[in-house]
C-alpha cells in the first residue's frame, strides 16, 4: 500500500529575470522509506527542486505536500524539521568549531535540555562512525569525515526525509561509496526517505526509483530496471550509465544475445558465468 511522505503536483519555479523555467511542471511521489536518485547534468534543475522541497524558495505554481501537509509559508516551520539536507560542501553548513558543538547546534536551537543534547550528539556520532571525534575541531577533519559530521547534523534532528544535494561530489570513489553505504544503513534503521541529487550514476545502486531531469523537467522516471534500459536517452542527455549496463550495451553491440535489462555487478557476473559455462 502506498504511504506517500512527499508529493509534488505540477510544481513550477521561475527565477526572477530568467528567460526559462528552472523547474517546469514537475510531478513526483515518494513513499516512506523509499530511495529516489535524481540525476541530470548541472543546470538541469535538480538543486532548485531541492530548495523548493525544503521551502528555501517559494514555488511559482503547483503544490508540495510533505507528510500529508501542504507546504505553505504558514506550515513551513512545522514541515522543515521533517526534512534534512546534506550539501556538497559540509563547510557551507557548519557553524560549530568543534564536532560536539556542530552536531549540538540544531538541538540547541530547539531548546532541548543540555543533558539530552549531549546524549543525542554522542548517539548520532556513533551512528556515523565518528564517536572518537567528539572533541575534535571540524577544520582538522578530512573531507569524508566532515561529510559524516554533516550527516550527523541531520540525523540528530530525526527527520523523515534526507536530501543529499551532490554531497559526495568532492570525495574520491572510495569515500563516495562509504558515504552512500552509510546513508543506506541509516535509511533502513530509521525508515528514512532518501532523495539523492547527483550526476554520478554509480550512487543509484540503492535506489528504488530513478528520475532524470533535463531543462527543469523530469523526462524519465521509474525503477532502475526500467530506466537503465533506456540507453538512447542517456546518450542523448550525455549521462553515463552504471558500468554493468555500459558493458551490457557493449556486449549487445558485438552481437552477444544479452537480456535488455538493468544489471548490477552480481547479476552481470552471474550472467557472464552462465554464458561461459554454456559457451
pLDDT at 16: 92
pLDDT in 10s for each residue of the chain, 279 residues = 578 999 999 999 999 999 899 999 999 999 999 999 999 988 899 999 999 999 999 889 999 999 999 999 999 999 999 999 999 999 888 999 999 999 999 999 999 999 999 999 999 999 999 999 999 999 999 999 999 999 999 999 999 999 999 999 889 989 999 999 999 999 999 999 999 998 888 888 889 999 999 999 999 999 988 888 888 888 888 888 877 777 777 777 777 777 766 666 777 777 777 777 675
Collapsed DSSP state (helix, strand, coil) of residue 9: strand
Collapsed DSSP state (helix, strand, coil) of residue 42: coil
Q: What angle do CA 109, 82, 67 make, to 5 degrees?
A: 150
Rounded Cα–Cα distance for residues 121 and 140 (Å): 19
- Report DSSP letters for 132-164, one per residue: GGTTSBGGGS-HHHHHHHHHHHHHTT--SEEEE
Rounded Cα–Cα distance for residues 85 and 100 (Å): 19
C-alpha cell at 52: 523548493
Cβ atoms of residues 149 and 138 within 8 Å:
yes
63: part of which helix (H) or strand (E)? strand 61-66
pTM of the model: 0.88
Where do runs of H (alpha helix) occur along the chain? 46-53, 76-79, 99-109, 114-127, 143-155, 173-190, 224-227, 231-236, 243-253, 265-278
Angle separating helix axes 114-127 and 99-109, nearest 10 degrees: 130
Cβ atoms of residues 28 and 218 within 8 Å:
yes
As its CATH architecture, domain 4-241 has 3-Layer(aba) Sandwich (3.40)
Amino acid at each position: 500500500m502506498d504511504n506517500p511522505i512527499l508529493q509534488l503536483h505540477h510544481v513550477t519555479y521561475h527565477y526572477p529575470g530568467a528567460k526559462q523555467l528552472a523547474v517546469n511542471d514537475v510531478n513526483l511521489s515518494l513513499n516512506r522509506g523509499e530511495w529516489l536518485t535524481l540525476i541530470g547534468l548541472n543546470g538541469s534543475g535538480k538543486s532548485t527542486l531541492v530548495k523548493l522541497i525544503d521551502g528555501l524558495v517559494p514555488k511559482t505554481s503547483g503544490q508540495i505536500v510533505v507528510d500529508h501537509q501542504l507546504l505553505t509559508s504558514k506550515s513551513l516551520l512545522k514541515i522543515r524539521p521533517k526534512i534534512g539536507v546534506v550539501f556538497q560542501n559540509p563547510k557551507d553548513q557548519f557553524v560549530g568549531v568543534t564536532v560536539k558543538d556542530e552536531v549540538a547546534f540544531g538541538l540547541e536551537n530547539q531548546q532541548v535540555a543540555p543533558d539530552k543534547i549531549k546524549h543525542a550528539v554522542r548517539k548520532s556520532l556513533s551512528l556515523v562512525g565518528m564517536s572518537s571525534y567528539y572533541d575534535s575541531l571540524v577544520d582538522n577533519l578530512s573531507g569524508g569525515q566532515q561529510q559524516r559530521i554533516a550527516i550527523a547534523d541531520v540525523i540528530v534532528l530525526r527527520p523523515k526525509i534526507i536530501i543529499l544535494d551532490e554531497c559526495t561530489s568532492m570525495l574520491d570513489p572510495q569515500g563516495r561509496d562509504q558515504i552512500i553505504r552509510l546513508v543506506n544503513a541509516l535509511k533502513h534503521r530509521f525508515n528514512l526517505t532518501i532523495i539523492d541529487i547527483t550526476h554520478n550514476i554509480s550512487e543509484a545502486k540503492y535506489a528504488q526509483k530513478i528520475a532524470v531531469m533535463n531543462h527543469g523537467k523530469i523526462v524519465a522516471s521509474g525503477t532502475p530496471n526500467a530506466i537503465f534500459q533506456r540507453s538512447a536517452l542517456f546518450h542523448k542527455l550525455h549521462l553515463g550509465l552504471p558500468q554493468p549496463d555500459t558493458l551490457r550495451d557493449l556486449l549487445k553491440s558485438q552481437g552477444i544475445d544479452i537480456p535488455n535489462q538493468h544489471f548490477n555487478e552480481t547479476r552481470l557476473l552471474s550472467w557472464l558465468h552462465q554464458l561461459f559455462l554454456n559457451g
